[in-house]
Structure 1
């Protein structure tokens, strides 16, 4: 165990303080964006209390004991919860990729991870104002409405790990809506498999593809060393500009393949560069999600 003042303790404390300091800044930016977008949107609160039975699902640890249907559960060895139609259809689950590659940023631009968080936090605020139930997929449990649901989701989007396990083995109610924010630089087949896991659970939604300008433009010249943030591998170019045309061709191919994957899964793909206003991406996401119900 580390003692107070040891290098490990100091490092962990610094990391915790840095993470905590980021949240107010990200939240403030998200609130400004949400305020600028909300004038062009309309509330989507639905009438009714959600009493129409939809289906049974297995009890999860985050469920209240009062939600258990004891009559159905008594038929076997497992606990079941009654899910109503309005509650199932009125849930939006948000996921922000926490992979190493999302920590990339060109000079003067935000980290891809932070821009993804800000866009989803602004979207969460808009959805909450419209009466939606929201959650951070894989981190906050079932979707919740009101201030509690919003605050839990905002913190998770800003500071949570963003593990891919949340989308590879999703725990979702049927017919939930999902928004995934990532750079989606994995092979298209990987993204297709993850979307397949979501659609198998009855989910539909949107992908927010976050792009740093340097990734698309490839502005590098001269002797340049590139490092894979996930694998730590290095690639050295004597004259980086000689690879520009080939790189841009591969970049376009990857984007087209990603678009095909999204369409086949019934998801909307929205691409956003970090050198452009985030409000346009948030509005596009909101409209895409609103169009699903």
Structure 2
């Protein structure tokens, strides 16, 4: 099968699964039952948030005299911040993301797409603008269909390169990938994002086999496109070195994210998708 034919077949298979993906993503988002994203702070808006004691420097017109009349102190009526954020998601669709260490376990790409779409559902439900790389972030449920179409695009390369097109200045971004390729393009992308005042999260998605390296004896390791190949008669002897290299990579990812004001988290497909979704949602608000 040629590379073009293989890529087209992957895209067609992906497209056929999109309705089920949307249903699963909406179910996952519903399990969190979260409040509105990014709004629980004082600022410009129409909705009442809370009363707080008046401080020195508050203008007299800011005092809520009716509330203050019920006590010996003065209170200010605060409104809730309601400015929508623009969130851009990049989901790595390269061949390495098609890996699964078990025929009964979905590949990494399936989990990354599920998390991206469920996160989009939560953000759109909260009034935010959302888009994939290369798309203009937009609000509203109608945007879900454009996101689904964007997620059906496959990449012919072994490892993905982050796409920073479409990121809005001072917005937010989410990168979902295994981050197993060359990290220099990622560093360039994060630098570009930081220059535009964009902050966000790196969510590394790995298969449990990539975390544990359960291989013994004669083993042939080959990249998904076949461009890289290594055969060994004693795979178990490589385990310690492999795990050390993986730990180094995770450490570099965490360091890169921290240096740019981003958050980093590693999630593997044997874990609950709900846990990773909750982490990403909270991290976009600046939490952990």
TM (normalized to structure 1)? 0.75
Query: The residue matched to 1:271 in structure 2 has which SS?
Result: strand
TM alignment of 1:184-195, pairs within 5 A: 184-195=179-190
Q: Which moved more, 1:256-265 or 1:191-200?
A: 191-200
- C-alpha contact 1:94 1:180 (8 A) present in aligned 2: yes
Partner of 1:153: 147
Gaps of 5+ in 2: 47-81
Note the C-alpha offset of 1:28.
Answer: 2.0
CA contact (8 A) 2:89 2:174 kept: yes
Bigger CA radius of gyration: 2
CA distance in 2, matches of 1:219, 1:246: 13
* 2:127 pairs with 1:134: no
Mapped pair 1:241 → 2:236:
yes
Q: Check conservation: 2:11, 2:154, Cα contact below 8 A.
A: no
Q: 1:30 to 1:245 in 2, by over 3 A?
A: same
Cα separation, partners in 2 of 1:165 and 1:264, compared to 1, 3 Å: closer
Match of 1:115 in 2: 111
CA shift for structure 1 position 221: 0.7
Q: 1:224 to 1:44 in 2, by over 3 A?
A: closer
Partner of 1:53: none
Q: Give the SS at the match of 1:166.
A: coil
For 1:235 and 1:96, how far apart are their aligned partners in 2? Answer: 28
Q: TM-score, normalised by structure 2?
A: 0.76
d(CA) in 2 for partners of 1:207, 1:233: 26
Is the 1:188–1:261 contact (alpha carbons within 8 Å) kept by the matching residues of 2? Answer: no
Equivalence for 1:56: none
2:172 pairs, out of 174, 177, 189, with: 177
Match of 1:228 among 219, 223, 227: 223
Alignment counterpart, residue 93 of structure 1, candidates 85, 88, 93 = 88
- Residue 161 of structure 2: aligned partner: 164
Shift of 1:44: 3.8
SS at match of 2:254: helix
User: Structure 2 CA distance, aligned partners of 1:171 and 1:35?
Assistant: 28
Partner of 2:166: helix, strand, or coil? coil
**1:42-86 Cα distance to aligned partner (Å, 9 max, x none):** 12486759xxxxxxxxxxxxxxxxxxxxxxxxxxxxxxxxxxxx8
Question: 1:14, CA displacement in angstroms?
Answer: 5.3
CA drift of 1:231 comes to 5.7
Q: 1:214, 1:10 → 2: CA distance?
A: 28
Tell me the equivalent position of 1:60: none
CA contact (8 A) 2:175 2:201 kept: yes
Q: Which range moves more in the overlay, 147-156 or 198-207?
A: 147-156
Distance 1:132-1:111 versus aligned 2 partners, 3 A rule: same
Tell me by how many angstroms 1:153 deviates.
1.6
Cα pair distance change 1:145/1:247, threshold 3 Å: same
Say which of 9, 16, 35 aligns to 1:42: 35
Q: 1:280 aligns with which of 245, 250, 275?
A: 275
Change (3 A) 1:148 1:45: farther
Give the Cα separation in 1 of the matches to 2:222 and 2:6.
24
**Aligned: 1:23 with 2:23:** no
